[in-house]
Structure 1
Amino acid sequence: MTRYATGRLLLTPVDPEAPTRAGRLRRLDLGERDDTSFESFDAFADKVAEVTETPYSMVNFIDENRQFFAGLHTPSGTQGGSDLSTAAAGSGRSGRHMARDHGYCPHVLLRRKALVLDDVCDYPRFAGNPVVDEIGIRSYLGAPLIDRTGIALGTVCAVDTVPRPWGRAGLATIKSLAQELVGHLNRRERR
Structure 2
Amino acid sequence: MHTELFDRLGTPERMREIAGYDLLDPDLRTSLDEVAKRSATLLEAPVSLVSIVLDTSQMIIGGHGVSGWVQQAQGTPAEWAMCTHTVLAGEPYCVIDGRDDPRHAGNPFLEMTGLRSYLGVPLLGEGGQVIGAHCVIDSRRRIFTDVDLALLTDGAEKVMRLLGSYRAAA
Please classify the TM superposition score into its range, dividing by the shorter chain length.
0.7 to 0.9
| 1:156 aligned partner | 134
The corresponding residue for 2:152 is 174
- Which residue in 1 is equivalent to 2:89? 111
TM-score (norm 1): 0.76
Cα 1:136–1:110 change in 2 (3 A) is: same
Spell out, residue by residue over 1:68-115, the C-alpha distance to the aligned partner (whole angstroms, 9 max, x if none): 1110111xxxxxx4x24x2xx3xxx82312111113100100100001
Runs of 4+ in 1 over 4 A off after TM superposition: 12-15, 34-37
The gaps in structure 2 that reach 5 residues or longer are none
Looking at both structures, which has the greater relative contact order when contacts are Cα pairs under 8 Å and sequence separation is at least 6? 2
- Cα pair 1:56 1:160 within 8 Å, conserved: yes
Report 1:32-51 matches (<5 A): 33=24, 35=26, 37-51=28-42
Higher alpha-carbon deviation: 112-121 or 175-184:
175-184
The residue aligned with 1:123 is 101
Equivalent in 80, 83, 88 of residue 102 of structure 1: 80
Across the aligned residues of Structure 1 and Structure 2, the Cα RMSD in angstroms comes to: 2.5
What do the CA deviations read for 1:33-68 (whole angstroms, capped 9, x no partner)? Answer: 385541111111111111111111110011122111
Paired residues of 1:103 and 1:130 also in contact (CA < 8 A) = no
Q: Distance in 2 between matches of 1:51 and 1:169?
A: 10
Is 1:135 the counterpart of 2:113? The answer is: yes
1:28 aligns with 2:25: no
Q: Which residue of 2 aligns with 1:16?
A: 8
Cα distance in structure 2, aligned partners of 1:172 and 1:124: 27
Greater shift, 149-158 or 129-138, is seen at 129-138
**Aligned equivalents of 1:40, 1:179: Cα separation in 2:** 13
TM-score (norm 2): 0.85
Deviation string 1:139-182 (CA, Å, 9 cap, x unpaired) is 00101100121011111010011111212222222222222322
